[in-house]
């Protein structure tokens, strides 16, 4: 049997100053699943996301325990190049990922560092930009784009590496409704496993059949998104709020 796309076992982590952030997180995400990671500020959601690409743990000088595997590959120092080919992280602020003169240059940056050149590199860039609907903007400077467009280009920079797992940190932050819809249209078409950290509960319901709730560094609930969002006591206990009047049970197909 093939291993899960993401497997986290008893993950604990404290920053170098001694602040404990994760307390024994265990989570398995199957291939092709779309899973929302919900929880209040300070729950440990982003810290978990950073662990999946090996950006924390021993690399950051912190103290931790537990194991993480991506497609069966252990997330540890010697395997980081392979891990980072398999899992891509899209940051909350796209300007943290876009720094080249043009959109195409930004999308080409990762594959070029893998040694791709010429037609193979151009094909990889075109493929990623087509996937996010930004092919027509390939020659534009990223800072000339809207926030929604920059966020889709940030997704393209990760897709150009052809990952099997896509991790998104607050992907709808500061987006207008049209940009949220355009990004959702992109994500539902992707043939990858998606783990999405978000405070946007209706958007989580729209995109992710399954959700995980974290609080105080622990997983406190894991189940169907619709059922978790309909649990008023669960939401209140963990400081999660739906928009006024929003009924998750009334959303068709969720």
- pLDDT top residue among 54 and 90: 90
The CA distance from 88 to 247, in Å, is: 33
pTM of the model: 0.92
Share of the chain above pLDDT 70, in %: 97
Q: Report residue 60's pLDDT band, with 50, 70 and 90 as the boundaries.
A: very low
pLDDT score recorded for residue 2: 83
At 234, give phi and psi (nearest 5°). Answer: -60, -45
Domains assigned to the chain: 6-99+163-250 (3.40.50.300)
Number of residues written out for the chain? 254
Sequential DSSP letters for 121-174:
HHHHHHHHHHHTT-GGGTTS-GGGS-HHHHHHHHHHHHHTT--SEEEEESTTTT
Asked whether the beta carbons of 208 and 36 are under 8 A apart, the reply is yes
The CA distance from 147 to 174, in Å, is: 8
Asked whether the beta carbons of 152 and 118 are under 8 A apart, the reply is no
pLDDT score recorded for residue 57: 59
- The SS3 of residue 116 is coil
- pLDDT top residue among 129 and 58: 129
Beta bridge partners, 167, equal 89, 195
Alpha helices in the chain (DSSP H): 45-52, 80-86, 103-113, 118-131, 147-159, 177-189, 201-207, 225-229, 232-237
Asked whether the beta carbons of 186 and 148 are under 8 A apart, the reply is no
- pLDDT top residue among 114 and 210: 210
Q: What is the mean pLDDT of the chain?
A: 93
At 236, give phi and psi (nearest 5°). Answer: -65, -40
Of 240, 150, 152, 158, the C-alpha closest to 193 is 158
Of 163, 187, 193, 162, the C-alpha closest to 175 is 187
Give pLDDT tens digits for 232-254: 999 999 999 999 889 998 887 76
């Amino acid at each position: 049997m093939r291993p899960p796309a993401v497997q986290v076992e008893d993950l604990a982590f404290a920053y170098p100053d001694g602040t404990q952030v994760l307390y024994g997180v265990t989570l398995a995400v199957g291939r092709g699943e779309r899973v929302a990671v919900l929880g209040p500020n300070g729950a440990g959601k982003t810290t978990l996301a950073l662990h999946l690409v090996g950006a924390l743990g021993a690399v950051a000088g912190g103290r931790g325990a537990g194991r993480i595997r991506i497609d069966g590959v252990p997330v540890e120092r010697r395997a980081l190049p392979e891990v980072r080919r398999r899992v891509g992280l899209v940051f909350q602020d796209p300007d943290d990922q876009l720094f080249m003169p043009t959109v195409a240059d930004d999308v080409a940056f990762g594959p070029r560092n893998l040694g791709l050149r010429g037609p193979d590199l151009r094909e990889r860039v075109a493929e990623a930009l087509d996937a996010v609907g930004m092919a027509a903007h390939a020659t534009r400077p990223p800072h000339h784009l809207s926030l929604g467009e920059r966020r889709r280009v940030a997704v393209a920079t990760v897709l150009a590496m052809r990952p099997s797992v896509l991790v998104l940190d607050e992907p709808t932050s500061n987006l207008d409704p049209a940009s949220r819809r355009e990004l959702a249209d992109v994500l539902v078409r992707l043939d990858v496993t998606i783990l999405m950290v978000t405070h946007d509960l209706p958007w989580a319901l729209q995109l992710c059949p399954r959700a995980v709730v974290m609080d105080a560094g622990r997983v406190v609930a894991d189940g169907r998104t619709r059922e978790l969002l309909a649990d008023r006591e669960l939401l209140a206990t963990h400081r999660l709020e739906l928009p006024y009047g929003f009924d998750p049970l009334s959303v068709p197909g969720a």
